[in-house]
Structure 1
Amino acid sequence: MQKWGGFVLVLVSFMGTGKYSRVKYYLGSKDNYFETSFVSRALGEFFNPDKWLVITTEEGMKNLESLKREAQDEKIQAIKISIPREERDVWEILDKLNDNLEQGDEVILDITHAFRHIPFLSFVIMTYLQVARGIKIRGIYYGAYESRDGDYVPIFDLSDALVFSEWIYSARDLKDYGRNEGISSIMKEWQNQMYARESKPSMRYTKKYANMLERISRGIYLNQIRDVMKYAYNLSKLSPDVKEELEKYFKPLTLLYRDFTIFEKFGCEDCYDKLSKETLRKQLLIAEYQTGIGLLGESLENLREWIVNFVFYLSNFDNSLWLERENRIEVEKGITGMAMEKRGEKIEKNGVYYYLRSNVDEIERKSGVNLITLWNLITSKRNLIAHSGMSKDSLNLEELKNSTKSILKDCSTLIKYLEDWK
């Protein structure tokens, strides 16, 4: 079988029951035409596919036989279906296309001669197979007989519809999972196209904004919390200019603008280097967001570090030294020492331990939250994930989710009383 650059090119077309006139179908310009009664025949000449699938019903077989006689092409393969009236009929089309396509195939989809709603269903099915099977839709074409000029009939290239399917995936990733890579790529590509078309580019901020969205997403998933705060703050400063650019040059993305601005609430001008109440508040907001999109492990790891920051802020440490590893280890030792003492274990006491020993009861009295119990809960749940399940304790996802939400609630309570202790 002939292959286009290592992949198989498959023409997928439909055959209805109508009476098709012989005309000159052209693609691009009228000089590039082929005279036939069937659009798929013209596309077969234009693209020379390795494989040719024609989907039809029992009623459409007569037209299919006419196509076979005209084309004299042994590659034509009939796929008979029922007219889709209910869900199982849709699965029939999916199953038959899946059976006749291989991973890596590239498809030319002709939606011209099809019964009413079948073109819509076929596009949705092919889009699904593109993701599920690694099949690529190379182009979508429609022979617009109603737009004919004498004997000449244009074939419209509708491949831009594929762009919208990519937008759908990217928008879903953004809204449901906080993944900005797809939508960022679309924004950057759009600005690149604007640059290529204009001598004096009018879009100046969108690409920079897209890069920040991508870094925020990466920071949320890799728990680079300070990066998230920094880029979210920078994002908020660019937002008005980007909103104006999108409304003027890329209006479809304005529908997602509100979703972009959600990340601005994580922004903090001084939080990258400075530990403050605002740092703690923003860090907690990020942990809440991580929990909401299902990043429970990342959220628990973040919350563990939040407790360290909280105690660091409360104690007499120099807050400018909060990122020094040896200082953070000292804070962890102090918290862990309190937890070990509660279990009757031998401990090494340090300044943080003595601070907590003097203040932990007062913290609980005012807030209703026992800091050491909270630390134990966070570390036990976090360890279930951090050690890849290498433990006799099994992971109950629903219980873990509820525990994480409970931890977040207690941390939020601690912040409310922070000024009373500081």
Structure 2
Amino acid sequence: MSKVMLAFLGVTNYKKCNYYFDENIKYEAVRFVQEAIISTICKDWSSADKVIIFLTDKAMRVNWFDNGHSDGKTKKPLEIEGLKTRLEKLDLSVQIKPVKSLPTGKNSDEIWEIFDRIVEVVEEGDEVFFDITHAFRSLPMLALIALNYLRVVKKIEIKGVYYGAFEVILDEFPDKKIYEIPIQDRNAPIFDLMPFIQLFDWTNATDNFIDYGDAQSLKKITSEDITPLLAKSQGKNELVKNIDICSKLLERFTEVIRTSRGYDLIYSDFYDTLKDNISIVGKAFYNPLIPLLDSIKEKIAPFKNEDINNGFLAVQWCIDYNLIQQGITLLQETVITLLIDKYYKKKEYLKDPDIREFISDVIHLEAKSTPRNEWKIKKRFRKDIDGVLKLLDKKIISHFETLRHIRNDINHAGFTETGESPRSPKVLKNKLEEYYQKIKGYFNNTTND
């Protein structure tokens, strides 16, 4: 694992200018943007680290070696140092490695060869920096695709993407040729394009959350981007803290659904905090991120602090994201929770295992038409039997009992003792959807009544 700077060298006879990262970091009268970038980024790198310059045959001839360009009139070689010499004069510890005979990318075979050449020079776990200034035609896009590919297959980290905007000089002096502009006025900024890489990451992470209900990618990118800033600001940067809160609460939200934490889903008070923090972050972040954050906020908008209906919303979430086992469990437990809330009206009873068992037993025994004198109900609950049953009708009792069989099927991995054939995955999902609609509809109607 090492640090690696990747850069493409073009064939233009580049003119000297003053490249700068900001007002404090400026490199005066240099021809090659790579010299300015490498001087800054790689100055403290070790001999284990590498600068890799991709060269077509022409780029190697005219810009890598010295005196590669000719005078337009006399055709005599111009005495100008090539990039190889300029980098050697920096006297850095880092290895300088040219990649020779790179194709120009004039057809699909050559494009694939360029892709392969990029991939093969990067090692497992490398930290990669990339200068795209002189990448030809579609090479910047190709290189970025290659780097994202490498993030998966070789676990690299993209640490910087740079572009030297020489054209800014010509925009400031539209009526002049470059050689007519005094050297002190030839000032070209070097842009760090990492925010666009981060936008790409945010887009993918948001897509994972919206399409798969998974907040892990969002948590990962915020940890990578935000943790260093939190450390630097010692927790005082409010925007950074809000982003950190958002990612942690989103992870908590999806985890409580994935692990069927029904009480946490219903009685958590973090929903409003999460929505508020997303709004705060959206107002302060890059404009392109706002629609992504709005999409996240829209997904969690129906959930409310301390609301039993969160149980049903979580079941719908499970249906949407194929969390069938969790959905079946949450549907049954939400029914029990609703009945306890309606009958006892005491929040502290919701987590009482004896009361929850009593409610479940009453529905099960009534569904089986077991004679009342055979009901084995604890004495303390016998007075409550009729009151609980008044909250239900025969259909909902039947639905709950069917759901119990489905829950046993999935919780016992299809190894049933009743002689029933195990249900297929498709049937399990369809049954969850069917009974969710029936049960939710029943309680919605009785609540409205």
Q: Could you tell me the TM-score, scaled by structure 1's length? A: 0.72
Deviations along 1:364-385, one digit per CA (max 9) or x if unpaired, are 45x6954322321233134328
* Aligned residue number for residue 404 of structure 1: 432
Structure 1 residue 263: deviation in Å?
Answer: 1.8
1:221 aligned to 2:248? no
Check the 8 A contact 1:52/1:77 in 2, yes or no. no
Taking the aligned partners of 2:270 and 2:194, their CA distance within structure 1 comes to 36
How many residue pairs align between the two structures? 393
Taking the aligned partners of 2:200 and 2:318, their CA distance within structure 1 comes to 26
Taking the aligned partners of 1:215 and 1:243, their CA distance within structure 2 comes to 18
Deviations along 1:92-133, one digit per CA (max 9) or x if unpaired, are 444332222111111120101111332133223313322442
Query: Against the structure 1 CA distance between its residues 203 and 396, is the aligned structure 2 distance closer, same or farther, given a 3 Å change threshold?
Result: same
Counterpart residue identity of residue 119, structure 2: N
Taking the aligned partners of 2:161 and 2:237, their CA distance within structure 1 comes to 34
Check the 8 A contact 2:50/2:96 in 1, yes or no. no
Taking the aligned partners of 1:135 and 1:393, their CA distance within structure 2 comes to 48
* Aligned residue number for residue 276 of structure 1: none
* Aligned residue number for residue 376 of structure 1: 405
SS of the equivalent of 2:255 reads: helix
1:350 aligned to 2:377? yes
Q: CA RMSD in A?
A: 4.7
Q: Pairwise mapping of residues 1-20 of structure 1 onto structure 2 (< 5 A)?
A: 7-20=1-14
Q: Which runs of 5+ in 2 are unaligned?
A: 66-81, 89-94, 170-181
Taking the aligned partners of 2:211 and 2:5, their CA distance within structure 1 comes to 35
* Aligned residue number for residue 123 of structure 2: 102
* Aligned residue number for residue 77 of structure 2: none
Query: Against the structure 1 CA distance between its residues 304 and 109, is the aligned structure 2 distance closer, same or farther, given a 3 Å change threshold?
Result: same
* Aligned residue number for residue 99 of structure 2: 77
Q: Could you tell me the TM-score, scaled by structure 2's length? A: 0.68
Counterpart residue identity of residue 299, structure 2: I
Structure 1 residue 249: deviation in Å?
Answer: 6.4
Taking the aligned partners of 2:273 and 2:4, their CA distance within structure 1 comes to 49
Counterpart residue identity of residue 99, structure 2: Q
Taking the aligned partners of 1:156 and 1:134, their CA distance within structure 2 comes to 25
Query: Against the structure 1 CA distance between its residues 135 and 293, is the aligned structure 2 distance closer, same or farther, given a 3 Å change threshold?
Result: same
* Aligned residue number for residue 264 of structure 1: 301
Deviations along 1:56-115, one digit per CA (max 9) or x if unpaired, are 4455453465357535676223362451655x6655444332222111111120101111
* Aligned residue number for residue 271 of structure 2: 235
Deviations along 1:25-69, one digit per CA (max 9) or x if unpaired, are 555458753765433344444415732333344554534653575
Q: Which structure has the larger Rg? A: 2
Structure 1 residue 154: deviation in Å?
Answer: 4.2
* Aligned residue number for residue 328 of structure 1: 356
Counterpart residue identity of residue 334, structure 2: W
Deviates more, 1:142-151 or 1:241-250: 241-250
Taking the aligned partners of 1:65 and 1:125, their CA distance within structure 2 comes to 24
SS of the equivalent of 2:8 reads: strand
Counterpart residue identity of residue 363, structure 1: D
Q: Which runs of 5+ in 1 are unaligned?
A: 1-6, 272-278
* Aligned residue number for residue 167 of structure 1: 202
Taking the aligned partners of 1:29 and 1:318, their CA distance within structure 2 comes to 65
Q: Pairwise mapping of residues 18-417 of structure 1 onto structure 2 (< 5 A)?
A: 18-23=12-17, 25-28=19-22, 33=27, 37-46=31-40, 47=42, 50-57=49-56, 60-63=59-62, 65-66=64-65, 67=82, 70=85, 71=87, 75-78=97-100, 80-83=102-105, 91-148=112-169, 150=183, 153-180=188-215, 183=218, 186=222, 189=226, 212-231=249-268, 234-236=270-272, 239=275, 243=279, 246-247=282-283, 251-255=287-291, 256-269=293-306, 271=307, 279=308, 281-309=309-337, 312=340, 321-335=349-363, 349-350=376-377, 363-364=393-394, 370-384=399-413, 396-416=424-444
Check the 8 A contact 1:364/1:371 in 2, yes or no. no
Structure 1 residue 205: deviation in Å?
Answer: 6.9
Deviations along 1:200-219, one digit per CA (max 9) or x if unpaired, are 97999776666544432332
Check the 8 A contact 2:332/2:403 in 1, yes or no. no
Check the 8 A contact 1:127/1:165 in 2, yes or no. no
Counterpart residue identity of residue 33, structure 2: V
Deviations along 1:171-229, one digit per CA (max 9) or x if unpaired, are 22332233446657749949x77x95999979997766665444323322332233233
Deviations along 1:296-352, one digit per CA (max 9) or x if unpaired, are 23222212323433565687897752321122233344455567x689xxx973379
Taking the aligned partners of 2:274 and 2:125, their CA distance within structure 1 comes to 41
SS of the equivalent of 1:76 reads: strand
Taking the aligned partners of 2:355 and 2:437, their CA distance within structure 1 comes to 27
Query: Against the structure 1 CA distance between its residues 224 and 90, is the aligned structure 2 distance closer, same or farther, given a 3 Å change threshold?
Result: farther
Taking the aligned partners of 1:36 and 1:21, their CA distance within structure 2 comes to 8
